[in-house]
Copies of this chain bind each other. A is one copy, B any other.
Amino acid sequence: MPKDNKNTFNLKTPKGTKDWSGSDALLRDRIFNTIADIFKRHGGTALDTPVFELREILAGKYGEDSKLIYDLQDQGGEICSLRYDLTVPFARWLAMNPDVRSIKRYHIAKVYRRDQPAVSKGRMREFYQCDFDIAGSFDAMVPDAEVLKIVTEVFEGLGWQGRYSIKTNHRKILDGVFEVCGVPSDKIRPISSAVDKLDKMPWADVRKEMVEEKGLDGAVADKIETYVVRRGGRELLNDLLKDEALTANESAKAGLEEMTNLMDYLEAFGVLDRISFDMSLARGLDYYTGVIYEVVTEGSAPAVQQSSLPTSSSEAPEAQKLQKSGKKDKSKSGNLEDDDRSNDPTLGVGSVAAGGRYDNLVGMFQPKANIPCVGVSFGVDRIFSITKARIEREQRAEALRSSEVDVYVMAFGGKGFTGMLKERMDVCKTLWNADIKAEFSYKVKPKLPQQFKAAEQGGIPFAIILGQDELANGKVRVKEMGLEEGHPEKEGVLVDLSSLVDEVKARLARKSQSNVDALAQQLEGTKTEDAGV
């Protein structure tokens, strides 16, 4: 930030905000596109709401966090605030459009929280959320299962095969467990929020919070422990179904039935093995009413680290250890608002996506038009950081280019060289009109080394070189950049101008296939390496 001139401005973005440019912007857009394509594959339609809402719409939705809402100045007229998440605007839209009785909607957009920013930890005041929700009254657990199928498609689509795990639980099971263990009904939510901290605190600390801070009977806490430490798959569900104390409880019984349904459906979708039933998962937000879930990954514990970017793969296991032992920041861990949480407080520590069923939120706006919903929110800023770190580890330079240009059109000549500007323009026109990404130097008479340097710096894979004599014979030279000395095509190949488009397209297709092959090999390698997640 240069500030060497007295008349200059304070040249910065506001605290907790950033510019996205170059390869970061490109990678982020690729992640957005991958995710949006999957949403569309499932019939998702885009909803775009204003960046600010009437303040009364947001009021009373975020509890204590309401103090983090950004207000617009009262300049006469309506009182407005920047949106805090994408869920409340969706609920407001549903309430405003009572003729819409079912919808799958997605929304990828920025949200705003006037929080203490910690840029190094990736906690920002302006950050992206990426939400998919299904609203409507349907048979139990069918849309819920599809949302979880979508979660698997997103992470497979991002190339995270074998590197993520989906923890699920059910609010009704959890509430039933608390009732069966003897938690007084007015303590159920506080005790639930203590359980939610098991992902960053050991049981002993959680128990202490329950007993010392929240006044729970120690014996009740011990009984809770026998449930909430359990995790597994269908066998855990079957065990619980045999637990007569639990099945005698109405809430638990209903939850267990729904979990059985869910597992059946996930099996039909072929993704049951990607899901773990984790009885410690409680999720902070009060509005969940059914199944809840959270996605964790090897690289998703950056918030516990100094930086949000794990810089080497050796950090990942350590991050896992840290996450499990919860040794760090123990002093602060009694407070959900502590420094350990991510940039996106709706996500738990170390998670990259989260969500669940919320059947009553729309009714808060319009009781007559209530409509049950289930959805998921992807923490795209964190997914971006992890993906970028992985690409850097794998040294896939081509994946971190700042533009996508495929061809640089250049010219050279000896004495009397005019620069061949119009000829370069004409060749570019031909390429552009054939939908080939191309650039050329904006100099009238550029030097050849300058042009090569520009192509190299841009990571552009092909050069088309115009020479006066060759062009007079209707030919240009196509050269793949970066070929080794001695390669038969090191100096490029002469191509008829009339077949230039076909030649370039064929070469780009070959190049792209060989990149895909190399990446697949690499992924195969890393997959084995990381199989332990």
Taking the complex as formed, is A53 at the interface, i.e. its CB lies under 8 A from any CB of chain B? yes
**B12, A96: Cβ atoms under 8 Å?**
yes
**A139, B443: Cβ atoms under 8 Å?**
yes
- Contact A264 B422, CB 8 Å, known A41-B432, A437-B41: yes
Among A1-9, A172-180, A189-197, A278-286, the one that faces the other chain is: A1-9
Among A22-30, A242-250, A497-505, the one that faces the other chain is: A22-30
**A14, B265: Cβ atoms under 8 Å?**
no
Taking the complex as formed, is A57 at the interface, i.e. its CB lies under 8 A from any CB of chain B? yes
Contacts of A7 in B (CB 8 A): 367
**B432, A153: Cβ atoms under 8 Å?**
yes
Q: How far apart are A418's CB and chain B's nearest CB, in angstroms?
A: 13
**Contact with A17, one of B50, B270, B443 (Cβ below 8 angstroms):** B50
**Contact with A422, one of B13, B52, B265 (Cβ below 8 angstroms):** B265
- Contact A142 B442, CB 8 Å, known A19-B49, A436-B41, A458-B43: yes
Q: How far apart are A102's CB and chain B's nearest CB, in angstroms?
A: 8
Assembly CA distance A247 to B12 (angstroms): 45
Which of chain A's residues 39-75 have a Cβ closer than 8 Å to chain B? 40-54, 56-57, 70-75
**A444, B50: Cβ atoms under 8 Å?**
no
**B20, A47: Cβ atoms under 8 Å?**
yes
Which of chain A's residues 415-447 have a Cβ closer than 8 Å to chain B? 421-423, 425-426, 428-429, 432-433, 435-439, 442-444
Taking the complex as formed, is A405 at the interface, i.e. its CB lies under 8 A from any CB of chain B? yes
- Contact A53 B14, CB 8 Å, known A21-B47, A43-B403, A365-B8: yes
Contacts of A52 in B (CB 8 A): 14, 17, 126
Taking the complex as formed, is A369 at the interface, i.e. its CB lies under 8 A from any CB of chain B? yes
Assembly CA distance A97 to B429 (angstroms): 31
- Contact A149 B432, CB 8 Å, known A43-B403, A57-B9: yes
Contacts of A51 in B (CB 8 A): 51, 82, 110, 112, 126
**A139, B442: Cβ atoms under 8 Å?**
yes
**Contact with A47, one of B25, B47, B56, B57 (Cβ below 8 angstroms):** B25
Taking the complex as formed, is A404 at the interface, i.e. its CB lies under 8 A from any CB of chain B? yes
Which of chain A's residues 124-138 have a Cβ closer than 8 Å to chain B? 126, 136, 138
Contacts of A444 in B (CB 8 A): 139, 142
Taking the complex as formed, is A449 at the interface, i.e. its CB lies under 8 A from any CB of chain B? no
**Contact with A429, one of B10, B49, B269, B369 (Cβ below 8 angstroms):** B269
Taking the complex as formed, is A525 at the interface, i.e. its CB lies under 8 A from any CB of chain B? no
Q: How far apart are A351's CB and chain B's nearest CB, in angstroms?
A: 24
Question: What would be 20 A-B contacts, judged by CB atoms less than 8 Å apart?
Answer: A8-B95, A9-B365, A11-B57, A11-B366, A19-B48, A20-B46, A21-B46, A40-B403, A42-B437, A42-B439, A43-B438, A70-B73, A72-B82, A136-B442, A139-B443, A143-B442, A268-B421, A268-B422, A269-B425, A269-B429
16 A-B pairs besides A19-B49, A41-B436 with CB distance below 8 A are A8-B367, A9-B95, A10-B56, A14-B53, A15-B77, A20-B47, A20-B48, A21-B47, A25-B47, A28-B48, A41-B438, A42-B432, A43-B458, A44-B403, A51-B112, A146-B442
